């Protein structure tokens, strides 16, 4: 190349602007480096191809109109043989991975005429104004937010002034209501306190009545039993037919009455002479098993006791409670299946939890709510002996220890009797 010759191809390729040369039929003839870099294309891949084949609309953008607008501009240039400057266009560019990147362009299309004044080429020059457009949008958004914030601030100022008066009024009303409610609560507390006192007094009177009634019944019962026995012994030979049966009925009914009177007196005595002591529940259970050894052996019962705690409790009553529950587990066993009883204990922050689990006959769900009611029997006397007061005893003992007692049972599988004892037990 001569020194005075200019390498226009190199010069075109080095221009900082973005240039593309099109033929009259809109085939790409060449593009400079700045253009291919901005559009993420290679010159070799686009030359010889149609403009809109290389740069289609973004198919994911339903509002895309870049192809339509550019096509109209180029057709205007071809028809009028005059340059056409387009408005800023949104024309997304296809990435190498096939996805599209949002872009904004400022295009101008310039015709190049031949010697016969016909279109030879079209110079398509664009400027990437994406950053400028995004900044302009952000500025508009910020301005809108600022206006919105100013409006909200003004509204809030008005609202604050309005609310201040309301708050003061509400505070005054609340003070009056708090005073009123405090007075009402105090009245209710006093009423509840008086009701509790009356209830305790009534319960005490009821226990005294039960004890006195049971005690007073003993003497006439002894007389009735004594004379019925003498009648049976001394005049049996003179009695005939149903008379013998009647005497037997009187004797048996009197003995049952005697047993009921005894358990009533036992029930009324619970907690009469009570004193909280620090006891070893494990040792109590060992003593109970020793006392019940005959019953345990007769029924081939297996009793497993986990580690048990030492705690503050009413010793005599706690012993009776365990004895009642163990006795029930042995009594209500399945036929031909030895009783298996597990006794466990656990604790939380406020209380001890004990459980007595067995493999007995279980309890039907509809009967569970009747378990702890005094004299309520779930089985007739011929199936299982007893007075129906054992679990009522147990409930009363647990309540003495400020706890709760409940049962989990599956009929035909077995039962778990659970009860709690408070750790903060205080002398009544």
In degrees rounded to 5, what are phi and psi of residue 108?
A: -140, 135
| Arithmetic mean of pLDDT over the chain | 83
Q: CB within 8 A of 323, min separation 6: which ones?
A: 288, 291, 292
pLDDT-derived band at 173 (thresholds 50, 70, 90) equals confident
Closest CA to 33 of 24, 45, 41, 22: 41
What is the 8-class DSSP label of residue 369? G
Mean pLDDT check: name the lowest of 63-67, 166-170, 202-206.
202-206
Half-sphere exposure of 147 (CA within 13 A, CB side): 5
Are 145 and 49 within 8 A, CB to CB? Answer: no
Query: Which residue intervals of 39-129 are DSSP H helices?
Result: 43-46, 51-54, 66-80
- When pLDDT is cut at 50, 70 and 90, the band that residue 273 belongs to is low
Give the residue among 223, 222, 246 at the shortest CA–CA distance from 235. 246
Given a cut of 60, whether residue 191 has pLDDT beyond it is yes
Give the list of residues 6+ apart from residue 93 with CB closer than 8 angstroms, or none. Answer: 38, 39, 40, 55, 100, 101, 103
- Tell me, what's the pLDDT at 382? 46
Provide the pLDDT for residue 376: 52
Mean pLDDT of 245-272: 63
Residue 268 has pLDDT above 90, yes or no: no
**Which CA distances in Å does 246 have to 72, 160, 224, 380, 382?**
123, 93, 14, 21, 19
Gap between the Cα atoms of 264 and 403, Å rounded: 22
The CA–CA distances, whole Å, from 49 to 21, 45, 100, 139 equal 12, 8, 20, 39
Kindly give the interhelix angle for 130-234 and 242-269, rounded to the nearest 10 degrees.
130
CATH class of the domain comprising 272-422: alpha beta
CATH C-level class of 8-128: alpha beta
Residue 124: CB atoms within 10 A of its CB come to 23
The more confident residue out of 374 and 245 is: 245
47-51, 271-275, 334-338, 364-368: segment of lowest average pLDDT: 271-275
Q: Are 246 and 282 in contact (CB under 8 A)?
A: no
Checking if the pLDDT of 216 tops 70, the result is no
Structure confidence at residue 159 as a pLDDT band (50, 70, 90): confident
Residue 262 has pLDDT above 70, yes or no: no
The pTM of this model reads: 0.44
Where does residue 383 rank: exposed (0-12), middle (13-18), buried (19+ CB within 10 A)? exposed
Determine the Cα–Cα distance for residues 328 and 308; give it in Å rounded to an integer. Answer: 20
Domain boundaries, the chain: 8-128, 130-269, 272-422
């Amino acid at each position: 190349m001569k020194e005075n010759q200019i390498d226009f191809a190199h010069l075109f390729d080095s221009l900082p602007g973005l240039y593309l040369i099109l033929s009259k039929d809109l085939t790409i003839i060449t593009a400079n480096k700045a253009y291919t870099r901005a559009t993420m294309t290679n010159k070799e891949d686009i030359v010889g191809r149609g403009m809109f084949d290389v740069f289609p609309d973004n198919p994911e953008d339903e509002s895309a109109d870049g192809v339509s607008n550019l096509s109209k501009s180029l057709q205007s240039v071809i028809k009028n043989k005059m340059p056409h400057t387009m408005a800023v266009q949104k024309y997304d560019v296809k990435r190498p991975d096939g996805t599209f990147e949002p872009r904004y362009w400022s295009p101008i299309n310039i015709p190049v005429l031949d010697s016969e004044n016909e279109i030879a080429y079209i110079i398509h020059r664009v400027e990437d104004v994406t950053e400028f457009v995004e900044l302009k949008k952000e500025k508009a958004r910020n301005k809108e937010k600022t206006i919105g914030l100013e409006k909200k601030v003004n509204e809030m100022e008005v609202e604050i002034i309005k609310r201040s008066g309301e708050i003061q009024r509400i505070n005054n009303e609340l003070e009056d209501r708090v005073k009123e409610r405090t007075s009402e609560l105090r009245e209710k507390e006093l009423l509840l306190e008086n009701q509790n006192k009356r209830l305790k007094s009534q319960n005490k009177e009821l226990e005294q009545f039960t004890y006195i009634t049971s005690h007073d019944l003993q003497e006439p019962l002894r007389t009735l039993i004594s004379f019925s026995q003498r009648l049976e012994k001394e005049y049996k030979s003179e009695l005939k037919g149903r008379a013998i049966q009647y005497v037997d009925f009187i004797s048996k009914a009197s003995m049952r009455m005697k047993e009921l009177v005894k358990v009533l007196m036992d029930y009324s005595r619970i907690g009469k002479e009570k004193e909280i002591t620090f006891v070893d529940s494990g040792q109590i259970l060992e003593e109970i098993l020793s006392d019940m050894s005959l019953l345990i052996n007769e029924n081939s019962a297996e009793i497993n006791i986990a580690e048990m705690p030492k705690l503050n409790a009413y010793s005599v009553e706690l012993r009776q409670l365990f004895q009642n529950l163990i006795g029930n587990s042995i009594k209500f066993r399945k036929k031909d299946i030895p009783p298996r009883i597990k006794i466990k204990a656990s604790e939380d922050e406020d209380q001890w939890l004990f459980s007595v689990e067995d493999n007995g006959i279980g309890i039907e769900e509809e009967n569970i709510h009747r378990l702890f009611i005094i004299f309520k029997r779930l089985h007739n006397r011929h199936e299982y002996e007893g007075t129906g007061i054992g679990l009522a005893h147990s409930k009363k003992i647990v309540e003495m220890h400020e706890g709760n007692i409940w049962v989990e049972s599956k009929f035909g599988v077995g039962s778990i009797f659970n009860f709690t004892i408070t750790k903060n037990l205080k002398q009544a």
